[in-house]
Amino acid sequence: MREAELLTTKDFVDKYELMAKKALGQNFLLDANITDKIMRLSLAAQNIADFSHETAVEIGPGPGGLTQAVLRQNPKELTVVEMDERCLKILEEIKNFYPQLNIISGDALKYDWQKKYETCGRFHIISNLPYNISVVLLTGWLKQIDCFKSLTLMFQKEVGDRILAVPGTKDYGRISVISQLQCEVKKLFDLPPTCFVPAPKIWSSVLLFLPKEKSIEPAILEKVEKLTAMAFGQRRKMIRQSLKTVPNLQQHLDELGIEATLRAENLTPEDYLHIAERLV
Measured CA to CA in angstroms, residue 113 lies from 56, 102, 118, 140, 217 at distances of: 12, 15, 9, 10, 17
List the Cα angle 275/276/280 in 5-degree steps. 125
- % of the chain beyond a pLDDT of 70: 96
Residue ending a domain, choose from 182, 211, 240: 211
Same domain, yes or no: 152 and 26: yes
Residue 22: its pLDDT value, please? 66
Our separate counts of H helices and E strands in the chain read 13, 9
Are 52 and 143 members of one domain?
A: yes
Q: Are residues 203 and 222 in the same domain?
A: no
Q: For the residues 91-117, what does the mean pLDDT come to?
A: 96
Mean pLDDT for the chain? 93
CA–CA gap between residue 177 and residue 225 (Å, rounded) = 9
Do 188 and 251 belong to one domain? no
**pLDDT at 99 exceeding the cut of 80:** yes
Q: What is the pLDDT of residues 240-251, one digit of tens each?
A: 999 999 999 999
Of 165, 191, 211, the residue that ends a domain is 211
Of the pLDDT bands very low, low, confident and very high (cuts 50, 70, 90), residue 130 is confident
Number of compact structural domains in the chain: 2
254: CATH: 1.10.8.100
Q: What tens digit of pLDDT does each residue of 213-238 get?
A: 999 999 999 999 999 999 999 999 99
Core vs surface per residue 100-123: b (16+ CB within 10 A) or e = ebebeeeebeebebeebbeeeeeb
Pair (10, 89) in one structural domain: yes
Per mean pLDDT, which range of 11-25, 43-57, 143-157, 224-238 is the poorest? 11-25
Query: Angle 219-221-223 (CA atoms, 0-180°, nearest 5)?
Result: 75
Q: What was the pLDDT predicted at 2?
A: 45
Q: What is the rounded CA–CA span in Å between residue 63 and residue 129?
A: 14
- Gyration radius from the chain CA atoms: 21
Q: Which domain holds residue 76?
A: 2-211
Q: Cα separations (Å) of 84 from 58, 66, 79?
A: 14, 16, 15
